[in-house]
Amino acid sequence: MKIAIVLHPFRSEAADVAAGFVAQAQARGHLVEIAESDAGRVPAAAVRPDGAAIAADLVVGVGGDGTVIEALRQGITADAPVMGVNAGHMGFLTEIEPARIPEALDAIESGRYLLSERMTLEARVAGSEPRLAINDAVIEKTVTQHVIRVAAWVGDDRLIGYRADGVVVATPTGSTAYNFSAGGPLVDPELDALVVTPVAPHTLFGRPLVFGPEVLLRFEVEGDRTARINLDGRSWCELEPGDSVEVVRAAQRIRFLRLAPRNFARSVREKFHLHDA
């Protein structure tokens, strides 16, 4: 089997975990490669030129949730499932802790695993190619002290005009990220839904809303202040007053490799340490 590793860019413990994974996988006869820029941190792995598309049977993200998101992006291109190994803090998207690497390799080799498919988002701005988001698309202010005015449309119906620091549109997978910090709900990632959560709203109605997967959401910048769009935490483009962005469910789906069915309630309890709550 060919395995590609996506490594946290600077965390030293992630490099140590990746080196252990490489040693164990190579001892079993698997080819493991890593990006050229990370080769010095994990010297035993084969080297893939920076920027080259991944071609592998499995992509392994070693780090935290941000690293797993990057692994998922590359997994879509490679048409390969992704497994996250936690070398971070919460690691909501990671499947295993480092101590379980041998167990994971056993399960993969024997075919005793599950694939969990999840939805992604497509964001569209006039004059630009559509972009993919795995966690969320965020329309937010560009000046720290200002709020922005954003009108939300659902299909042809104007829903509400927000005065807020921003508006998050999240997938269920991304509901544990910025959406959660902004007061949005946690959503079972096995569902297909679009979660809309205003950030620090200055409007009478500021509740999060959850829509079915077939809706087309549109957000238009009103007033005289610019906004910008971030996709999975990466800045994409600025919106002038009168500009808008559409957000829909994308055709592409991400695939997580799981060792066992995931119980959403149990995951929430464990990741947020709710045992004594």
Residue 109: inside a domain: yes
Residues 246 and 130 both lie in one domain: yes
Instruction: Assess whether 24 and 100 both reside in one domain.
Output: yes
The reply to whether 68 falls in a domain is: yes
Range of the domain at 27: 2-113+259-271
CATH number at residue 77: 3.40.50.10330
243 shares a domain with 126: yes
Say yes or no: 82 and 170 in one domain: no
* Residue 168 shares a structural domain with residue 104: no
Which amino acid is present at 137?
A: A
Is 276 among the domain residues? no
Same domain, 152 and 243: yes
Q: Is residue 226 part of a domain?
A: yes
Structure-token pair, residue 90: 């919460």
Q: Is residue 43 part of a domain?
A: yes
Q: Could you say which residues of the chain have pLDDT below 50?
A: none
Q: How many CB atoms lie within 10 A of CB 100?
A: 15
Count of Cβ atoms closer than 10 Å to residue 128 Cβ: 12
Q: What CATH number is attached to the domain comprising 229? A: 2.60.200.30
- Main-chain phi, psi angles of 151, to 5 degrees: -90, 130
Q: Evaluate whether 217 touches 199 at the Cβ level (below 8 Å).
A: no
* Residue 277 within a domain: no
Contact 139, 125 (CB under 8 A): no
Catalytic one of 38, 65, 136, 165: 65
Same domain, 130 and 95: no
The whole-number pLDDT of residue 277 equals: 59
* 167 and 45 part of one domain: no
Task: Give yes or no: residues 240 and 128 share one domain.
Answer: yes
- Both 246 and 264 in one domain: the answer is no
Looking at the structure of the chain, the number of domains it has is 2
CB 81 within 8 A of CB 28: no
CA distances from 115 to 52, 95, 170, 253 (A): 25, 12, 22, 12
**Token pair 């922005």 is at which residue?**
148
Q: Do 109 and 59 lie in a common domain?
A: yes
Measured distance CA(262)–CA(246) in Å, rounded:
32
Ordered DSSP codes for the chain: -EEEEEE-SS-HHHHHHHHHHHHHHHHTT-EEEEEGGGTTTSTTSEEE-TTPPP--SEEEEEESHHHHHHHHHHHHHHT--EEEEE-SSS-TT--B-GGGHHHHHHHHHHT--EEEEEEEEEEEETTS--EEESSEEEEEESSTT--EEEEEEETTEEEEEEEESEEEEE-TGGGGTHHHHTTPPP--TTS--EEEEEES--SS----EEE-TT--EEEEEETT--EEEEETTEEEEEE-TT-EEEEEEEEEEEEEEESS---HHHHHHHHTT-TT-
65 is catalytic: yes
Q: Are residues 144 and 225 in the same domain?
A: yes
